[in-house]
A and B are shown apart, each in its own frame.
Chain A
Amino acid sequence: MSGKRLIPVQCGLSDVAGVSRRGFLGGTAVGVGGALAADMRAVNGLRAEEIAGELRRGEKHVILLWLAGGASQLETWDPKPGVKTGGPFAAIPTNVAGIQVSELLPKLAQRMHLTAVIRSLNTKIADHGRGADLVERGRLDDPGLRYPDLGAVVAKELGRLESTVPDYVSLYTSTEGRRKGTSGFLGARYAPLFLAENMAPPNTGLHERLTAAEHQDRAALRDLLSKRFTAEHRGSTVGSLNSAYQRVQGMMASAGLFNIEQEPAEVRARYGPTQFGEQCLIARRLVEAGVPFVKVARAWWDSHGQNFETHLELCADLDHCMSVLLDDLQERGLLEKTLVITLGEFGRTPGINASLGRDHFASAWSCSLSGLGIRGGVVHGATDAEGHTVVDGEASAGDLFATILQAVGIDHTHEYMVGSRPTPLADFGSKPIRSVLV
């Protein structure tokens, strides 16, 4: 990958060494190898590292399990049993010697070798909106400059330009803390396919009076006419229009990815009956089909009241669904290509309020990273005995952002040129947490 990436406002496409990736890659996502062979002149114009970068596209994925509202680190990854703030749950050993997690995560405990836990996040902002902005983007917006969130950056960096599947899918059927996500200065091309009402994109079916063959014929005719027109009228507007058509067609073709009825019954049963389980299964189907970034939001972690009842219920869901997801990805050879993250906008207070709840807390909390680029069986950082402060390995939102990018092979120091302003992928000064990276 090159050091700087221009962000042309008109279409969001960047050219490398004078040859567009569109020309390099050819017509379809699955045709990377074919396109490579068919256009050696273009290949010769590229540096070897850029070729390697292009080939990596479509082969790496991120699934973000967004724990909206803020899960408690004490009831998940950083248990403190027996102290005043510890709550009622015990800590249990994992399959990695010396690492314990809450007893609410027994299945994930047996998959600890796949997972790195960061126990030392200090993101400072403990209100939902700004906290989510910070964690999702790795920094807060500057005046006049809106930063893209993690999904948009991954979509841009790992998505194929000619992909027939969406680059960024956000499953957010939960009503609490619902956020669409933002592609910021990267533009609408990298905005998420945002599914809030249903678990499948709307209006992707064929018109009832149209057969698949007729639809295909129409597309072929449009393509033929478009090529004739393009030959005589070159320009970015025409290219952009063609790209939009291709993406719509791709969306229609990929609508079936959201239909878990296409999965064998035993696979559906394995993920379980909850909506979160179904959405994790959709996430697996999407990454299997080449989608670079999938966000699955599971809400109602904001446990100001009845924190322990809440975590009994929701951790059971998380523990089961994430464990099945990791297993399924691994069995399909996808886990080494897929980073699975659990993250929310913050954690929860060590102190327990009168409603037996825990409130917002961003000073010493946890997240987990599993799979692609991650050294499993590792804990980074530590909090004090009661969990009030970070005492080792403090990490900021920018550090976490940089870590995630590095894990999936994106150099966080590379810069986008936004107009004339160089803008690094991760915030200035952010440092990846090397201890969790392979």
Chain B
Amino acid sequence: MRMNDEPVAAMPAATTPATPQAAAAAAVPFVPSKVSIDRTVRLPSMTFCLARHVPSGRVFCGGADFGLHSFDPAAEKPETRPLSEVRHSSYVTGVVNAAGTLISGGYDRSLIWWNAETGEQLRKVEGAHDRWIRSLAVSPDGLRLATVADDMRTKIWDTQSGACLLTLDGYDLQTPHGFPSMLYAVCFSADGRRLATGNKTGKVLIRDVATGEIQQTIETPVMYTWDPKARRHSIGGIRSLAFSGDGSLLAVGGMGQVGNIDHLEGKSRIEVFRLPTGERVHEIEDSKYKGLVEKLQFSGDQKWLLAAGGDNGGFLSAWSLETGKLLAQEKLGNHLHAFEMLSDRTLVTVGHDQASHVTLSAG
């Protein structure tokens, strides 16, 4: 479970240097070599998604208590508070900030628009999908919302009116082996013109946002962890997607083949494709920190890629896009479901039951 929040495609550009020394340092491309946890905050429940709300400086997150909560990630001792007494009726799996308005979605198949300041429920769309809503993404201009669900449909919504503009098929309801399939991941390109979605069997569709037309199909079959002999069951699938800032690369995250399906024992896996050729330029598997890659984001200069996820424990890893090698990595509490960049070097992560303020630094 994950979310893609604004800005979708790339981390923010570096802030303006305050001193000549800082300016000199800023001229050198930032390549992280260390991940540091600055502080953590206990969350009210298992948490699957978050959205940064710039006007208030707060981060809003949703999870297993069916509600949204917020905290100030810059505070020394962050305190969480509920957004509203009103809640979804099942797990909240996605929340985005659409030009100042929060929109959440969840396993109750509904979408809710919220006033982030007051907690007022502005709009609710019941039955937005026929089955579990897995993920939400908002276009960089905040005008379009994309949702994916286990009805295997992608929907594009007008964030201002709440109207559903497009309902897009393209995935089978069942896996090739006759089991329910799942549509986990969605993200917009930085220019807001393209949308990528990924399902349980490792199929990526890239579409034109305006028309819904499929522009490209990419297959990542290793992400589908079915094995007819050893494991008639699969819990992998594509769990995260990200376009690079210029739209020339697409990163796909999930898990590699697993020996023991009872746990998330597969190597965490990332595949990076060049667009529009579809050439796979990187195939990254990490055996040190295993499990699902739940969130991906390219650096602003497209030199490296940040990935979060985990099995029982969480990880945050930075991978070089030039070499495919690991740049920095840290075990980070429990399984991470999402993160949001606060600056080019700081971020907030949410996991099983805690959030962390994290700093990336060069060695």
Bound together, the chains give a CA A374 to CA B180 distance in angstroms of 32
Tell me which of B66, B230, B263, B313 contacts A304 (CB under 8 A): B263
Indicate if the CB atoms of A314 and B233 lie closer than 8 Å: yes
Encode A334-365 as 1/0 by CB contact (under 8 A) with B: 00000000000000000011111100000000
Q: Interface size on A (CB < 8 Å)?
A: 34
In the complex, which residues of chain B have a beta carbon less than 8 angstroms from the beta carbon of A354?
310, 312-314, 334-335, 351-353
A84 lies within 8 A of chain B by Cβ: yes
Encode B230-252 as 1/0 by CB contact (under 8 A) with A: 11111100000000000000000
A251 lies within 8 A of chain B by Cβ: no
Indicate if the CB atoms of A300 and B311 lie closer than 8 Å: no
Indicate if the CB atoms of A355 and B291 lie closer than 8 Å: yes
Tell me which of B90, B178, B311 contacts A90 (CB under 8 A): B90
Q: How large is the interface on B (under 10, 10 to 19, 20 to 34, 35 or more residues)?
A: 35 or more
Indicate if the CB atoms of B182 and A312 lie closer than 8 Å: yes
B121 lies within 8 A of chain A by Cβ: no
B262 lies within 8 A of chain A by Cβ: yes
Tell me which of B64, B262, B264, B311 contacts A352 (CB under 8 A): B64
Indicate if the CB atoms of B262 and A317 lie closer than 8 Å: no
| Interface-central residue, B235, B261, B264, by most chain A CB under 10 Å | B235
| Interface-central residue, A272, A273, A305, by most chain B CB under 10 Å | A305
In the complex, which residues of chain B have a beta carbon less than 8 angstroms from the beta carbon of A312?
150, 180, 182
A75 lies within 8 A of chain B by Cβ: no
Bound together, the chains give a CA A82 to CA B65 distance in angstroms of 8
Indicate if the CB atoms of A300 and B178 lie closer than 8 Å: no
A199 lies within 8 A of chain B by Cβ: no
Indicate if the CB atoms of A84 and B45 lie closer than 8 Å: yes
Bound together, the chains give a CA A357 to CA B265 distance in angstroms of 13
Bound together, the chains give a CA A306 to CA B292 distance in angstroms of 10
In the complex, which residues of chain A have a beta carbon less than 8 angstroms from the beta carbon of B313?
354
In the complex, which residues of chain B have a beta carbon less than 8 angstroms from the beta carbon of A303?
262
B137 lies within 8 A of chain A by Cβ: no
* A-facing residues in B164-212 (Cβ within 8 Å): 177-180, 182
Bound together, the chains give a CA A353 to CA B64 distance in angstroms of 12
Q: Which residue of A lies closest to B229 (CB)?
A: A175
Given A273-B178, A316-B179: A310 and B233 within 8 A (CB)? yes
Bound together, the chains give a CA A317 to CA B107 distance in angstroms of 20
* B-facing residues in A238-272 (Cβ within 8 Å): 272
* B-facing residues in A272-313 (Cβ within 8 Å): 272-275, 277, 299-300, 302-306, 309-310, 312-313
Bound together, the chains give a CA A306 to CA B172 distance in angstroms of 22
In the complex, which residues of chain B have a beta carbon less than 8 angstroms from the beta carbon of A310?
233, 235
Indicate if the CB atoms of B233 and A313 lie closer than 8 Å: yes
B350 lies within 8 A of chain A by Cβ: no
Tell me which of A84, A272, A353 contacts B312 (CB under 8 A): A353
In the complex, which residues of chain B have a beta carbon less than 8 angstroms from the beta carbon of A435?
none
Q: Which residue of A lies closest to B93 (CB)?
A: A88
Indicate if the CB atoms of A305 and B264 lie closer than 8 Å: yes
A193 CB to nearest chain B CB (Å) = 21
Indicate if the CB atoms of B264 and A299 lie closer than 8 Å: no
Bound together, the chains give a CA A356 to CA B262 distance in angstroms of 11
A199 CB to nearest chain B CB (Å) = 13
Indicate if the CB atoms of A302 and B262 lie closer than 8 Å: yes
B235 CB to nearest chain A CB (Å) = 4
Indicate if the CB atoms of A355 and B178 lie closer than 8 Å: no
Indicate if the CB atoms of A305 and B107 lie closer than 8 Å: no
A174 lies within 8 A of chain B by Cβ: yes
In the complex, which residues of chain A have a beta carbon less than 8 angstroms from the beta carbon of B352?
353-354
Encode B305-344 as 1/0 by CB contact (under 8 A) with A: 0000011111000000000000000000011000000000
In the complex, which residues of chain A have a beta carbon less than 8 angstroms from the beta carbon of B231?
175-176, 300
B360 lies within 8 A of chain A by Cβ: no
In the complex, which residues of chain B have a beta carbon less than 8 angstroms from the beta carbon of A174?
232
Bound together, the chains give a CA A89 to CA B64 distance in angstroms of 11
Indicate if the CB atoms of B179 and A305 lie closer than 8 Å: no
In the complex, which residues of chain B have a beta carbon less than 8 angstroms from the beta carbon of A314?
233
A398 lies within 8 A of chain B by Cβ: no
Bound together, the chains give a CA A18 to CA B360 distance in angstroms of 87
Tell me which of B64, B177, B235 contacts A88 (CB under 8 A): B64
A91 CB to nearest chain B CB (Å) = 12
Bound together, the chains give a CA A299 to CA B178 distance in angstroms of 16
In the complex, which residues of chain B have a beta carbon less than 8 angstroms from the beta carbon of A306?
235, 264
Tell me which of B107, B182, B264 contacts A355 (CB under 8 A): B264
Q: Which residue of A lies closest to B337 (CB)?
A: A356
Given A305-B311, A310-B233: A356 and B46 within 8 A (CB)? yes
Bound together, the chains give a CA A316 to CA B150 distance in angstroms of 13
* 13 interchain pairs, CB-CB under 8 A: A88-B132, A273-B178, A299-B232, A300-B233, A300-B262, A302-B262, A304-B262, A306-B235, A309-B182, A310-B235, A354-B335, A354-B353, A355-B291
Contact residues of B with A, CB < 8 Å?
45-46, 64-66, 89-91, 107, 132, 150, 177-180, 182, 229-235, 261-265, 291, 310-314, 334-335, 351-353
Could you list 12 further interchain pairs (A-B, Cβ under 8 angstroms) beyond the known A88-B90, A354-B351?
A: A176-B262, A273-B177, A274-B177, A299-B233, A300-B262, A310-B233, A352-B46, A354-B314, A354-B353, A355-B263, A356-B335, A357-B263
